[in-house]
Amino acid sequence: MADGRGAGGGEESQHRLGTLLNGLRATVLGANDGIVSTAGLVVGVAGATPQREALLVAGIAGALAGALSMAAGEYVSVSTQRDTERAALARERRELADDPTGELEELASMYRDRGLSEELSRLVARELTDHDALRAHAEVELGLTRYRVDPWQAAFASLFSFVLGALVPLAAMLLSSDVWRLPVTVVAVLTATGALGAVSARLGGALPLRAAVRCVAGGSFAMLVTYLVGTLVGTLAPL
């Protein structure tokens, strides 16, 4: 039986799915940043000094600083986006109250621009306005949907995923012998970034292989540059 409850349940399911996917994407990106930035840091320090204590201090400090910085950045970014959306919705709500006829014509014209006939565009605009005028304008005119990430959710997801990602190069570097330290770290980092790139692409509907190669290339470049810089600094000013 198709009724209002069924439609409402479908919308609620779509909302939960959209929120989940947005959270997963933020988590995957946070973990990837944690892996690459921490790997670059510890590999750079390893190029300057073989001391395990220096690697541990640099890795932990870098992981914490990066996680907190990313969490703060996510919170500010998502909060700013949410405030902007709220301001746009408030403006649209005022326009609907002040000039409902003009707003109805505006909505119909947007559907005409999308290819609907004059008659059908007016019919669609009228029915959507009668159902939920603000939502109709938000989706068509402003491009806003209900799938918004909560600032705190984004911040904590980024923080924890960054720390988890940072553990990959840090553990590989600290648990390996001096001879195998760099090879083990490089393999661990490139494997993890490639996997995360593929997962992120799959969540977004893109090609996993292309994303994985891109992430592996970025991680390789970051580690190469920081290792060369660390080696140069260690040569000029040995610790």
Question: What's residue 149's pLDDT?
Answer: 64
Please report, as a single letter, which amino acid is at residue 231.
Answer: T
Please say whether the beta carbons of 162 and 64 come within 8 A: no
What is this structure's pTM?
0.71
| Helix segments in 99-180, DSSP class H | 100-113, 118-140, 151-175
What is the pLDDT, as a whole number, of residue 168?
92
More confident residue, 171 or 10: 171
Question: Can you tell me the distance from the alpha carbon of 43 to that of 226, in angstroms, rounded to the nearest whole number?
Answer: 7
Q: Which residues, including other chains, have CB under 8 Å from residue 163's CB and lie 6 or more apart?
A: 34, 63, 64, 67
What pLDDT, in 10s, does the model give residues 106-156? 888 888 888 888 888 888 888 888 888 888 888 777 777 665 667 888 888
Q: Residue 208: is its pLDDT beyond 90?
A: no
Higher pLDDT, 13 or 163: 163
Percent of all residues in the chain with a pLDDT value above 70, rounded to a whole number: 85
Long-range contacts of 90-94 (CB under 8 A, 24+ apart): 92/134, 92/137, 92/138, 92/141, 92/142, 93/134
Banded pLDDT at 206 (limits 50, 70, 90): confident
Residue 4 pLDDT class (50, 70, 90 cuts) = very low
- What spatial distance separates the first Cα and last Cα of the chain, rounded to whole Å? 75
Determine the average pLDDT of the residues in 219-235. Answer: 84
Where are the chain's structural domains?
A: 34-234
Render pLDDT for 153-203 as a digit per residue (tens, 0 to 9).
888 888 999 999 999 999 988 888 878 888 898 899 999 999 988 887 887
